[in-house]
Structure 1
Amino acid sequence: MKFKTSLRAAAVVALVAPLAACSATGGGDAAGPVPIQWWTWDANQAVSYEKCATAFNEANPDIEVTVSNYGWDDYWTKLTAGFVAGDAPDTFMDHVNNYPEYADQGQLLPLDDYVAKTDFDLGKYSTGVDTWKYTDGKLYGLPKDWATIAFFYNKDMVAAAGLTDADLANMTWNPDDGGTFGEIVAKLSVDANGVHGDQPGFDKDNVVTYGIGPMGTSGNNGQDTWSGFLSTTGWTLGDEPNWPTQFEYSQPVFKKSLDWIRDLSAQGFSPKQGAFTNAVEDQLGSGKVAIVSTPSSNVVALSTLQGVPVGIAPSVVGPDGTRSSLSNANGDSIWAGTKHPDEAWKWLSYLGSTDCQSLAGADGTFFPSIPESMAVTQASMKEKGIDLSVFTELSDNKELFVTPAFQNGAELDATFKPLWESFFNFTVGDEVFDQMTEQSKEILSRNG
């Protein structure tokens, strides 16, 4: 699960140091500082962590850290190419779906010896440590953040439809009739004649405002869209909490739930697959949608939209009476091929420190995995008029769940992407999920 952040790239990326012309592991000037690179796919976080790099470089004149950012798709292609060519970055932001394959290939440096040698405290993290322990028992990353999903909505549109913030905060859902969530997205959908989706004569083919943003393809666990719906039915992605042998797409409750979610676009309550390709802040800010389901990493961009008062609501309460929101923890890893492992660890351990997470986290571009630093983020955002209590309450109430760690994430993504698109485009029916379950079984069985 990537939990990507939407951004206005031209303004942000210009602030980020470009990739150095020399190799990430090249020695450079023998008399100069040791060059260490750190890559990330998140342009907003790149700006925040640039502050950490500046502080680290000033405190360690014998080391020079360079921060580089690439978009999500290019990021993994460039990283893999670097592994093959032998010039990958010394350190990089890593993802739970990708690191098992890299660990199998011997591309990641185990961190256990460094943790022991430097008495590094793993107990300071609120989440994520176990995520980065592979099947060999070794640690291949340090937790850096956590994130979850929420509904961001246009408060003016909600009020105009006769709804309240409390209605949005307490939405219920079930795969039979959609609960109050289904009623709300219908009421918030408006056609070109001003008719709402819950009124006679609504023109589903001529919609001006959709009640909910795109609910289609969103990764193999529905990270930004349907994950919080399915988790309240008792369904889980894998047949095991970690390292599953198959994905449970063939389960009847999964098929029924996905059919209901897909039908939102058929009714005109959600855009059709591929209709919207712009960022969620543009969707909400333009008035084309009333609610978007998106990661907490977008909280600053969405809470500061010009002329649009934005509210935040937690995930739905499901048929079992519980609320359950997907969370994950990204991490930082060291390339096994780095020529400077000691310096790389020094930087990585600073990335995972309270000092760095508090410094970078004050921007609100991520939620730090260290509680003390998370408190800094929450206080900093409160000063800017942004209330993070929806997210912290989900965490405090233990209403978060994590996706399982599994093998061969890249192959699963590539295999299933066209099938997800075919389903949400109504080209195939829910029988495709039987096929996907069988394919997952075969791909997950290949170790390495």
Structure 2
Amino acid sequence: MRKKMAAGIASLLLVTLMAGCNSSNDGGGATDSGAQKSVTISYTIWDKNQQPAMEAIADAFTEQHPNIKVKVDAIPWGEYWTKMSAAAPAGMLPDVFWMHGGQFMKYAEGQFLEPITDKVQANEIDLNNYASNLVSIYTKDGQNYGIPKDFDTIGLAYNKELFDQANIPYPDNTWDYAKLAEVAKQLSQPDKGIYGFGAKLDTQAGYWNDMLANGGFILNDDMTKSGYDEMASIEALKARYQMILDKASPTHQQMTDTDSVEMFKSGKLAMIFDGSWDNGNLASSEIIKGKYDWAPLPKGKVKRGNIINGIGNVMSTKGKHKDEAWQFLKFLGSKEAAEITAEMGAAIPAFNNTQDAWVQNNPDLNLQIFIDQAADATPYPSGSKSYPVWFSKEAEIMSQAWGGAISIEEGAKKVAEMMNQAIEDAK
């Protein structure tokens, strides 16, 4: 019965995606003699907050290419990859769609993405317009598959009201991890359900940054060895978990029941690590709007750690209108599209020297910290065949440590062993 139910759900998801995503059609076909054929191509994203900006970009594109209309569909992150996974082998992926670094290898390996290397070599697009550490995220075996859309780094969001009430100065670039822990204790009022910091179980917007700052690493430079069992990494993980033990942070169970971002939005957390992509989400809360700001991540023993990642725009290898899809993909990578993204406050555009408008879109917030941290940030560690295997298992093991079933050190060493085996198996 469960197998039949699962098959039915998968079929339903695929039908839904086929109807909404791969909407390429002739749109009435050719008109007068010499007129171009009218087509509609699909563009699928996962962030509804960015949909207005993406639609504005699509409209600007259609103004220049009247025969090509673009249908923008937004599928929530929680459903996006389920639907894409069903659509890919069926040849029903959208014409153009968002790609995440953590999913890239799977789709490139499956030959579901159209390579654009020939376009790059023909100088149809210049990848030097984007930071090299973003271009590399969507490159495999020397082949280019994606055009960087935006980038994100991690910041320390803080509730100014809670700091004011405690008469504590706001975080700034002098803070280190000891100061973060100290102030988190001072701001915590567990009896009122208020905590100083959300020491959640998280990688990109969580302890990966701690590990890097403390001199540890996630993977070594050639991605052949895990860094979870390095003492510097274990020390950083223990320090984060200690804030839970000190009641300066909610428990793992509390943050499982209610995510730390939602706690922050409701005024129950004084500080969280969060990504630049989430600023619009925080600003949507009437409780916290106007009462929060951003600071750089604290300094560690070695450096200020930070993970940089970025969405890439890609096109399907099975699209019905590849020429038109390429024209749109190229436009998405243009300065004009980047400026629309920035001016509408959707995300930090990847195109060089177009980020200022994104910062100026929210003049009351210190968004410049996300730009400033990018230069020294570490790329999201997804560029290996083993990544999809070890990443899916990492949280299973670390959740046992965060829940208290095993020690932090034991959990970290188990993750390292699992990662190293996944790397070996992928050779």
Matches within 5 A, 1:296-315: 296-303=276-283, 305-306=285-286, 308=288, 309-315=291-297
Matches within 5 A, 1:36-435: 36-117=41-122, 119-127=124-132, 128-134=134-140, 136-165=141-170, 167-173=171-177, 179-192=178-191, 208-213=193-198, 215-218=199-202, 222-241=203-222, 244-276=223-255, 277-278=257-258, 282-303=262-283, 305-306=285-286, 308=288, 309-320=291-302, 322-382=303-363, 385-395=364-374, 398-404=375-381, 405-429=383-407, 430-435=409-414
> SS at the partner of 1:107?
coil
Q: CA deviation at 1:90?
A: 1.3
Q: CA deviation at 1:366?
A: 0.8
> SS at the partner of 2:143?
coil
> SS at the partner of 1:333?
strand
> SS at the partner of 1:311?
strand
Q: Kindly provide the CA deviation profile for residues 62-102 of structure 1, in whole angstroms up to 9, marking residues without a partner as x.
A: 22211111222311111111112221111111111211222
Question: Which amino acid in structure 1 is aligned with residue 361 of structure 2?
Answer: S
Question: Which amino acid in structure 1 is aligned with residue 218 of structure 2?
Answer: L
* Alignment: residue pair count: 399
**Cα distance between partner residues in 2 of 1:416 and 1:288:** 28
Report if aligned partners of 2:17, 2:87 keep a CA contact under 8 Å in 1: no
Q: Kindly provide the CA deviation profile for residues 114-153 of structure 1, in whole angstroms up to 9, marking residues without a partner as x.
A: 223353122211351222221x201010011111111111
- The RMSD of aligned alpha carbons is 2.3
* TM-score w.r.t. length of structure 1: 0.83
**Cα distance between partner residues in 2 of 1:378 and 1:341:** 35
Q: Kindly provide the CA deviation profile for residues 164-215 of structure 1, in whole angstroms up to 9, marking residues without a partner as x.
A: 12x4442212xxxxx11111110010132xxxxxxxxxxxxxx5211012x2
Q: Kindly provide the CA deviation profile for residues 36-59 of structure 1, in whole angstroms up to 9, marking residues without a partner as x.
A: 111112221223211111222232
> SS at the partner of 2:378?
strand
User: What does residue 13 of structure 2 align with?
Assistant: none
Higher helix share: 2
Change beyond 3 A, Cα 1:292–1:111: same
**Cα distance between partner residues in 1 of 2:209 and 2:387:** 21
Report if aligned partners of 1:24, 1:35 keep a CA contact under 8 Å in 2: no
Q: CA deviation at 1:444?
A: 2.7
Change beyond 3 A, Cα 1:446–1:139: farther
Change beyond 3 A, Cα 1:380–1:433: closer
Report if aligned partners of 1:237, 1:403 keep a CA contact under 8 Å in 2: no
**Cα distance between partner residues in 1 of 2:21 and 2:346:** 29
> SS at the partner of 1:292?
strand
> SS at the partner of 1:209?
coil
**Cα distance between partner residues in 2 of 1:331 and 1:271:** 34
**Cα distance between partner residues in 2 of 1:71 and 1:304:** 17
Q: CA deviation at 1:307?
A: 5.6
Question: Which amino acid in structure 2 is aligned with residue 259 of structure 1?
Answer: K
Change beyond 3 A, Cα 1:304–1:169: farther
Report if aligned partners of 1:224, 1:295 keep a CA contact under 8 Å in 2: yes
**Cα distance between partner residues in 2 of 1:130 and 1:330:** 12
Question: Which amino acid in structure 2 is aligned with residue 230 of structure 1?
Answer: M
Structure 2: tracts of 5 or more residues without a match? 1-15, 30-36
**Cα distance between partner residues in 1 of 2:280 and 2:101:** 25
Q: Kindly provide the CA deviation profile for residues 406-433 of structure 1, in whole angstroms up to 9, marking residues without a partner as x.
A: 2243332332222121111011122132
Equivalent position to 1:24, from 22, 25, 31: 22
> SS at the partner of 2:85?
helix
Query: Greater shift after overlay, 298-307 or 109-118?
Result: 298-307
Q: Aligned residues: percent identity?
A: 24
Structure 1: tracts of 5 or more residues without a match? 1-17, 174-178, 193-206
**Cα distance between partner residues in 2 of 1:261 and 1:104:** 36
